[in-house]
Every structure is written in structure tokens, then in C-alpha cells.
Amino acid sequence: MINETLYNLIITIIKIIVVLSVAMLHVAFAVYFERKTIGHMQRRLGPMEVGPHGILQSFADVIKLFFKEDLVPASADKPLFYIAPVIGIAATMVSLSVVPFFNGFAIANIKVGLLFLFAMSSLGAYAVILAGWASNSKYSFLGGMRSSAQVISYEVSMGLSLVGVMIMAESLNLNDIVAAQQNFPTRLYIIPQFIGFVVFVLSAMAETNRVPFDLPEAEQELVAGYFTEYSGMRFALFFLAEYIGMLVMSSVAVVCFLGGWGLPGFIYSIFSGSSIFISILEVICFLFKLYMCMFFYYWVRSTLPRYRYDQLMSLGWKILIPVSVFNILITGTIKMLVQ
């Protein structure tokens, strides 16, 4: 009994180390990928100096951030100033623990995985608000206020947009949701749940404070928004939290709408002998879909201008929430008629 517990504990710790280190490394290349994508979309080259085609640029940036001076404003609320980025990074990293990367693999395969993701993404708002308040600077404060209103509003539509998926899969466990899509005729929930998918994508962009909803950090008005006063490694923590937040949101989109790790049926019958090979293919499939979503984030960033604040609020409350409620109604009615 004790031995078994110990064994499970060691396996879990190994899983955590693997997922966290991959996520950290992912951020380095996600930033590079973003800069290159936007560069080429704007007919520039992007980073080119460090390494072949600038591939080591992010590592150079990390080294630079390590050695920068850690400044704390004199009138800042010091405990809150220190804890804000830690809350941000913890909330996003903990979300990674429920994401199934291939069949049956998640650090914590819990029954209410989707709700857990909502809970952690709403916790991310504290990092932004507290950072804005603790810095004691008008730009930071305005950024924090904007973000709190934005995140509360868009959390509602994000939650509602996924209810359709919950109704169809009859589960909140992310692994079960992917498995349910495998048994569904279209194999992807994006086809019956297209409305939910669109609402989710828009809300996810607002939740992660990305263009076109990046009002909390609007450069032209607020310098850098809530993290204006942060420097060195504390700034890097916010940066890390933002990119891992994008990773989490993309993986929710992949798991709930794009079939997750699910491969086409004939591949399972061809390689039915080796389960390891199938697992590798599933990981590749999951990551491919994930990076398509990440690319979409970058694509939107390089093409769209920023929303105005009142437009942001009316989009959230007057369009996305009614539309997602309507989607729940339709999904529920069809589910009832089919049964």
C-alpha cells in the first residue's frame, strides 16, 4: 500500500517535470515563432542574428533578463508586488496538469477537468489586478482595472461556449471529451459546435489579453499596462504566464473542438500492434493542432487593430453571451430529440 503510493508519487513527479520543462522550452520557441510569423507577414525577416535564422534569439533574451536589475518602485506595496507574478505563473502552469497530451496521459486525470481549467484561468486575473494595484503607477493601475473588467466579462461567455461540448460529451473529463469525439460521426466537435467554437476563440483571446483585445497592455496609451513597473525576472514571469496561458487556451480549443489526440480511424487499424508508436503519433497530432491554434493567435495579432473599450464590452455582453446561450439551447434540444 505504502509502496504503491510512493510509486504513484514518483511517477507523478516525473510527469510534472517533463510537462513543465517542455512547456518552458515551448515558450522560448513560441516567442521565436511569433516574431518570425509577424515579421514575414509584415515583409520583414524578424530575428536573424543569434544562431541560424535567429533560432537562439529567445535564449539570448532569457540570459539578458536574468542579469537585469530587479527594480521595485519606492511606493509599491512590496508583498503584493512580489506575489503578483507568482500567482500568474502558478495559475497557468497548474492548468497544464489536466491537459491530455495523448490517450490516457495527463498529470491529473480528474473528473472535472474542464471546470478546473475555468477556475485556474479566472485566478490569472488576480496576477494582473494585483500587479496593477501594487505598482502604484497610473499606467499599471489603469491596465489592471481594464483587465479585471475584461476577464470577468469574457469568462462568462467562455464558460457558456463550452457547455455545448459538455452536453455532447456528457463529461467534464478532458480525456473523455476527446474519446467521445472519436465515437462521434464527424470525429470533431467543431462541425456541430461551430458557434461555440467561434465564441470560445474570441473569449480565449480576451482572457489571455491578446490582440485585438489587448487593452490592458495597450502600448500607445498605457506604456505596457499592468507590468510597466516590472523588470528583469519578474517581468519574465509575466511573459511566461502569458505564453503558457495561450498554450493552455489553445489546448482547450484542440481538446474540446478539434479532436485532441484523436487520429483518423485507419491509422489505428494499421498500427494496431504497437501502442507506443500510436502514442507518439497522437502526441504529434495534438501538437500539430496546438501550433495551428498558436499560429492563429499570431496571424490575428499581425492583421487586426485593437478594439475600443466600449466595443469590447458590448461585444462580450451583447453578442457573445446571447449567442452562446442560444447555442446551448439548440444543442440541448437536439440532444433531447435524438435520445
Partner 1 sequence: MINKIFFIYFAIAIVTLSLVIITRKSLVHSVLFMLALFFHIAGLYLFLNAEFLALVQIIVYAGAILVLFLFVIMLLNIREDELKEQYSSFWPAGISIGIVFLIVLLRMPAFSLGIKGVWDIKSVTEATSTGAIGQVLYTEYLLPFEVASLILLIAIIGAIILAKKRFSK
C-alpha cell of residue 283: 502526441
In this structure, are residues 257 and 296 in contact, taking their beta carbons and an 8 Å threshold?
Answer: no
Looking up cell 451583447 gives 318
In this structure, are residues 96 and 20 in contact, taking their beta carbons and an 8 Å threshold?
Answer: yes
Least distance CB 288 / partner 1 (angstroms): 30
Least distance CB 63 / partner 1 (angstroms): 33
How far apart are alpha carbons 9 and 167 in whole angstroms?
34
How far apart are alpha carbons 212 and 198 in whole angstroms?
15
Q: Is the CB of 149 or the CB of 281 nearer to partner 1? A: 149
Least distance CB 214 / partner 1 (angstroms): 19
C-alpha cell of residue 165: 461540448
Q: Is the CB of 50 or the CB of 83 nearer to partner 1? A: 83
Q: Is the CB of 45 or the CB of 329 nearer to partner 1? A: 329
225-234 burial, b at 16+ Cβ within 10 Å, e below that, comes to bbbbbbeeeb
Contacts of 217 (CB under 8 A, 6+ apart): 143, 209, 224, 225, 226, 227
Q: Is the CB of 57 or the CB of 150 nearer to partner 1? A: 150
Q: Is the CB of 206 or the CB of 287 nearer to partner 1? A: 206
Least distance CB 121 / partner 1 (angstroms): 8
Q: Is the CB of 38 or the CB of 123 nearer to partner 1? A: 123
Q: Which residues bind partner 1 (CB under 8 A)?
A: 77, 79-80, 83, 110-112, 115-116, 118-119, 122-123, 125-126, 129-130, 133, 141, 144-145, 148-149, 151-152, 155, 159, 172
Q: Is the CB of 119 or the CB of 319 nearer to partner 1? A: 119
Least distance CB 151 / partner 1 (angstroms): 7
Question: Half-sphere exposure (CA, 13 Å, Cβ side) for 155?
Answer: 16
Query: How deeply is 167 buried, as exposed, middle or buried, from its count of CB atoms within 10 A (0-12, 13-18, 19+)?
Result: middle
Least distance CB 179 / partner 1 (angstroms): 16
Least distance CB 263 / partner 1 (angstroms): 28
How far apart are alpha carbons 75 and 188 in whole angstroms?
53
Estimate the crossing angle of helix 275-303 against helix 194-207, to 10 degrees: 70
Beta strands in 128-243 (DSSP E): none
